[in-house]
Structure 1
C-alpha cells in the first residue's frame, strides 16, 4: 500500500474548500439523486461523492456505504485528485498502491474503483465522484465518459450551493481572523479581498443560472482636495457617509465594498442591461443629495462621485476573470472623470453587453 502525496497547493485547496461552506450542510437531495443514478447506470455496489477535508475523506453523498468518512491516508480518492484524468483500478489486489489497504483487505473489500476528480470554479480538486465494487471489474471507455458527465453535474450542484449562500451567511461562516481580512475597518463594508471573492461567486452563479451581474466602480470627486482643505478626519467621514448611503440605497443582496482609498465597488446580481446607466446616474444623484458632511464651521461640503459601469451576461462570465471585469469598470471610471466628473461612463465587456446590442 502507498499513501498518496499531498498536493503542492494543499493549503490553498483546503481554504478554497472551506470557503464553499459545503462540508457542514445537511445531505443534499440533488447529490443523492446523482449517486442513486450512478448506481443504476453502472450496476455497481457502492457510489460516493467524496470531499477531502484535512486528514479525512468525507462522503457528502453515498450509496451502500456504512460510514460517512474514512481516514484520508487510506482513501483511493486522495490518489485520484493528484491527476486530471479519472483514476481507474480494475483489481486493487494487483495494484501496489492499494493491495495492502485496510479498505481492500477488510470491509468493504474494494476490488474495483473508478473515480473522477471534482474541481471548483477556482480550479482546486475537492474530491471525487467514484463507483466501487467488491469484485474485479473492467470499465469501458463509454462508461468512463458517462462517469465524467455525472461528475460535471456534481460540480455544477456544488457550485450552485456555494453561490446560494448569502452575504450574511458568509459573514457567519467566517471566523474572526478571516472576517477581519475581508471587511474594511473604516466603513464596515467589504474590502477589496471580500469584493473579489463575492464577485467571483456572483459570476459563477450567473453562468450556472443564466443570469447577469452589473458592476459599478465609484470614485469620490476631488477627494485629495477635500483632504487637503478639511483634513483627513473629514475625509474619513466622507468615505463613511458614502459607504452608508450606498449600502442603504441598494438592495439587500447587492454587494458594496471599498476597493481602496476613495474608490468603491458595487456588485448587483440580476441587473438588466437596460438598467445599468439609469442606476449609475441614480447613484450619482443619491450621493450628491444625501451625503451631508460639514466642515468645522458647520457648512456642508459638496460631495459628488464619478461612476464607471460594466455589465456581465451569462455568456460573458466564462470568458473573464473577476480582475478583468474590475479593470474594465475602472477604465470606464477614468473616462467618467475625464468627461467632467459627477457622471457615468459605461464600457461593455463584449457584444452581449453593448447598450446598442442584444438585451
Structure 2
C-alpha cells in the first residue's frame, strides 16, 4: 500500500479548512441531498463527501458508510487531492497503491473508485466527493464530467455555509495557533491574512447571492509624526483606539481588521452604493471627534484618518479577486491622501481588470 501523501501547502490548507468551520458532526441537508442524488445517478454502493483533517478523513456526508471517519493515510481521497484532475480507479486489485489497503482488503471492500477534489475560494483542496463500488467499473468520460459538475455544486454549498457563519462563530472555532495566525495581537481584530480570507468569502457569497459588498481602506494620517513625537506606546494606543471606534461605528455583520501598520480594512456585506460615501464621511467625522488619546504629559493627541472606498456590485458576470478589490480601495485611499487627508474618496472597480 502507498500511504496518502501530504500536500506541500498542508499547514495553510488545514488552517483554511479550520477557519471555515466545516468539521462538525452536524448533518447538512443540502450536502446529504447531493450524495443521495449522486447515489441514484451513478448507482454505486457508496457516495461520500470527505474532508481531510490533520490525520483523519472525515465524512461530511455519505450514503452506505458505517463510519464517520477513517485514518487519512489509508484514504483514497488523500491521493485525489494531490492533483487537479479527477482520480479514477477501475480495479483496486490491479493498482499497487491500493491492492493491500485496509479499505480494499476489509470493509467497505473498495474495488472501484472515482473522486473529484473539492476546493474553497482560496484554492485549497479541502477533500473530495467520491463514488465507490465493491466491483470493478470503468468510469466513462461522461460520468467523470458529471461528477465534476456535482463537485462544483458541493463547492457552492460549502461557500454559502462559510458565508453564513458569524465572526464570533469563526473566531470561536480557532485554536490558539490559528488565532495567532489570523488575529492581530495589538487590537484583537482580524489581521491581514484573516482579512484576505474573509474578503474572499464575502466576494464569493455576494457573487452567488447577487448581493453587493462595500470595502473601506483606512489609513491614520501622519501616523509617523505621532510615533516620532509621542513614542510608540502612544502610537499603539492610537491604533487600539481607532480599531475600537471603527468596530463600534459599523454593523455586527461588518468585518474589520488591521491590514498592517496604521492601515485598516472594513468589509461591508450587502451595503448599497448610495450610502458608501456618507458612511465613509461619518467614520472620518467620528474618528476626528473621538480619536484622541493622552500622551505621557496627559495632553490629548488628536488624529484623523483618510479612507479609500470601492464597491463590488451585484448581478455581475465577472468575479473579482480579493487582491483586485483591495488594490482599487488602496488606489482610492491614495486619492484621499492626495486630496488633503481626513476625507474619503471612492473609486469604482475596473471591469477590464476583472477575472473571467
TM-score, with normalisation over the residues of structure 2?
A: 0.90
Q: 1:154 and 1:347 mapped to 2: Cα distance?
A: 35
1:275 positional shift: 2.0
**In structure 2, what is the equivalent of residue 214 of structure 1?**
214
Whether the 8 Å contact between 1:254 and 1:267 is mirrored in structure 2 is: yes
Separation (CA, whole Å) in 2 of partners of 1:181 and 1:107: 39
**2:329 matched to 1:329?**
yes
Q: Which residue of 1 aligns with 2:51?
A: 51
In the other structure, the counterpart of 2:81 is 81
Tell me if the contact between 1:308 and 1:344 (Cα under 8 Å) persists in the aligned partners. yes
Decide which moves more: 139-148 or 224-233.
224-233
Q: Point out the more displaced range, 297-306 or 69-78.
A: 297-306
Structure 1 residue runs of 5 or longer lacking an equivalent are: 354-359
**Per-residue deviation, residues 144-167 of structure 1 (Å, max 9, x unmatched):** 221111111111111222222211
40-49 or 2-11, which deviates more: 2-11
2:241 aligned with 1:241, yes or no?
A: yes
1 CA distance for matches of 2:231 and 2:245?
Answer: 22
Pairing 1:33–2:33 present: yes
Counterpart Cα distance in 1 of 2:98 and 2:295:
74
Once the two structures are overlaid, the 10-residue window that deviates more, 35-44 or 255-264, is 255-264
* CA distance in 2 between partners of 1:272 and 1:91 (Å): 55
Classify the secondary structure of the residue corresponding to 1:84.
coil
User: Helix, strand or coil for the counterpart of 1:274?
Assistant: coil
Whole-angstrom CA distance in 2 between matches of 1:344 and 1:11: 38
State the match for 1:186 in structure 2. Answer: 186
Alignment-derived partner of residue 265 in structure 2: 265
Contact 2:210 2:316 in 1 (8 A): no
Residue of structure 1 in register with 2:175 after alignment:
175
Structure 2 unaligned regions, length at least 5: none
Alpha-carbon distance in 2 for matches of 1:182, 1:41:
41
Match of 1:202 in 2: 202
Structure 2 Cα separation of the partners of residues 238 and 4 of structure 1: 50
Aligned equivalents of 1:181, 1:15: Cα separation in 2: 9
Cα distance between partner residues in 2 of 1:303 and 1:323: 28
Correspondence 1:263-302 to 2 at 5 A: 263-294=263-294, 300-302=300-302
- Cα 1:67–1:227 shift into 2, 3 Å: closer
In structure 1, what is the Cα distance between the partners aligned to 2:316 and 2:171? Answer: 28
Look up the match of 2:150. Answer: 150
Give the Cα separation in 2 of the matches to 1:317 and 1:190.
Answer: 29
Cα distance in 1 for residues equivalent to 2:225 and 2:95: 72
Partner of 1:109: 109
Asked if structure 2 preserves the Cα contact closer than 8 Å seen for 1:206 and 1:317, the reply is no
2:259 touches 2:265 (CA, 8 Å); kept in 1?
Answer: yes
Count of matched residue pairs:
353
Indicate conservation of the 8 Å contact 1:203/1:317, yes or no.
no
Match in the other structure for 1:313: 313
Report if aligned partners of 1:315, 1:352 keep a CA contact under 8 Å in 2.
no
Cα pair distance change 1:133/1:125, threshold 3 Å: same
SS in 2 for 1:186: coil
**Structure 1 residues 25 and 280: CA distance shift in structure 2, 3 A:** farther
TM-score normalised by length of structure 1: 0.89
Question: Distance between the aligned counterparts of 1:306 and 1:145, measured in 2?
Answer: 50
* CA displacement 1:288-331 (0-9 Å, x = unmatched): 23334456676655432211111123567964332332222122
1:294 and 1:89 map into 2 onto residues whose CA distance is 68
> How far off is 1:263 after superposition?
2.0
The equivalent of 1:356 in structure 2 is none
Counterpart contact for 1:308–1:331, Cα < 8 Å:
yes
C-alpha distance in structure 2 between counterparts of 1:65 and 1:307, whole Å: 53
Report what 1:357 is aligned to. none
Shift of 1:252: 0.8
Distance 1:45 1:204, change over 3 A: same
